[in-house]
Amino acid sequence: MDLIAASGLTKRYGKTLAVDAIDFSVREGETVGLLGGNGAGKTTTIAMLLGLLIPTAGRIVILGHDMARDRFSALAKMNFSSPYVSLPSRLTVAENLRVYCHLYNVRRTDLRIAELADDLDLHDLLPRRAGQLSAGQRTRVALAKSLINRPRVLLLDEPTASLDPDTGDLVRSWLERYRAESGCTILLASHNMAEVERLCSNVLMMKQGRIVDRGSPAELLARHGRDDLEQVFLDIARNRTATAEALA
Amino acid sequence: MIAASLRRIWALLYRHIALYRASWPRLLELAYWPTLQLCIWGFTARFFAARLGSPGIVAAGALLGGVLLWEVALRTQMGLSLGFLEEIWSRNLGHLFVSPLRPRELLAALVGVSALRVAIGLAPALLLAWALYAFNIFGMGLILIPFVANLMVMGWWVALCVISLILRHGAGAEALAWSVLFGLTPLSAVFYPVAILPAAVRPIALALPSAHVFEGMRAAMAGTIAGDQLAWATGLNALWLAAAMLLFTWQFRSARVRGALISIGE
pLDDT tens, residue by residue, B149-184? 999 999 999 999 999 999 998 877 888 888 889 899
- Same domain? A59 vs A118: no
Question: Cβ B262–A98 below 8 Å, yes or no?
Answer: no
Residue contact A53–B23, C-beta within 8 A: no
Residue A242 is predicted with a pLDDT of 65
Q: Which residues of A touch B258 (CB under 8 A)?
A: 13
pLDDT, tens only, B211-245 = 999 999 999 888 888 889 999 999 999 999 999 99
Which residues 146-175 in chain A show a CB within 8 A of chain B? none
- Of A98, A130, A150, the last residue of a domain is A150
The distance in angstroms from the start CA to the end CA of chain A is: 26
- Mean of per-residue pLDDT scores for chain A: 90
A14 — contact with chain B (CB < 8 Å)? no
User: Is A16 near chain B, with CB under 8 Å?
Assistant: no
pLDDT at B55: 75
Considering the domain architecture, whether residues A132 and A161 belong to the same structural domain is answered as no
- Residue A127, SS3? coil
Q: Tell me, what's the pLDDT at A245?
A: 63
pLDDT classification of B247: cutoffs 50, 70, 90: very high
Q: Would you give the DSSP letter of residue B139?
A: G
ipTM score of complex? 0.88
- Regarding predicted confidence, which is higher, B58 or A20? A20
**Domain stop point among A150, A176, A200:** A150
Total domains, chain A: 2
Contact B90 A88 (CB under 8 A): yes
Q: Which of B7, B8, B10, B15 should we substitute to test contact with A (largest number of A Cβ atoms within 10 Å)?
A: B15
Mean pLDDT for A233-237 is 84
The pLDDT tens digits of the residues spanning B40-70 come to 888 888 888 888 877 777 788 888 888 889 9
> Any CB–CB contact under 8 A between A54 and chain B?
yes
Q: How far is B8 from chain A (nearest CA, A)?
A: 4
pTM for the whole thing?
0.89
Number of domains in chain B: 1
For the cut 60, the answer to whether the pLDDT of residue B31 exceeds it is yes
Q: Do B100 and A103 touch (CB under 8 A)?
A: yes
| A35 and A100 share one domain | no
The dihedral of CA B125, B156, A98, A85: what is its sign?
Answer: negative
Asked if B10's CB is within 8 angstroms of A88's CB, the reply is no
User: Which residues from B are below 8 Å from A100, CB to CB?
Assistant: 11, 95, 99
Residue B144 pLDDT level (bands cut at 50, 70, 90): confident
Residues 79-98, chain B: which have Cβ within 8 Å of A? 86, 90-92, 94-98
> In this structure, what CATH number is given to the domain that contains residue A241?
3.40.50.300
Enclosing domain of residue B200: 2-263
Q: Are both A142 and A166 inside the same structural domain?
A: no
Are residues B95 and A85, on separate chains, in Cβ contact within 8 Å?
yes
| pLDDT at res. B266 | 55
Spatial separation of the C-alpha atoms in residues B10 and A104, rounded to whole Å:
12
Task: Using alpha carbons, select from A208, A229, A166, A190 the residue that is nearest to residue A39.
Answer: A208
Look at residues B240, B237, B200 and name the one whose alpha carbon lies nearest to residue B216: B237
Does one domain contain both A139 and A191? no
- Distance (Å) from the alpha carbon of A72 to chain B's nearest alpha carbon: 5
The residue range of the domain holding A55 is 2-77+153-247
Residues A221 and A163 in one domain: yes
Nearest to A87 among B10, B95, B97 (CB): B95
Amino acid identity of residue B31, one-letter, is A
Considering A130, A150, A170, which residue would you say is the last residue of a domain?
A: A150
Q: SS3 breakdown of chain B: % helix, strand, coil, rounded to 5? A: 85, 0, 15
Query: Would you state the pLDDT for residue A169?
Result: 87
Whether residue A106 is predicted with pLDDT greater than 60 in this model: the reply is yes
Among residues B228, B238, B86, B248, the alpha carbon closest in space to that of B161 is found at B248
* Residue A175 sits in the same domain as residue A234: yes
pLDDT at B107 over 80: yes
What are A27's strand-pairing partners?
A2
Same domain? A215 vs A234: yes
Q: Check CB contact of A98 with chain B, cutoff 8 Å.
A: yes
Phi, psi of A17 (to 5 degrees): -95, 105
**What's residue B56's pLDDT?**
77
Residue of A182, A131, A74 lying closest to B22 (CA atoms): A131
Q: Do the chains contact at A103 and B96, CB–CB below 8 Å?
A: yes
Chain B residues touching residue A95 (CB < 8 angstroms): 14-15, 18
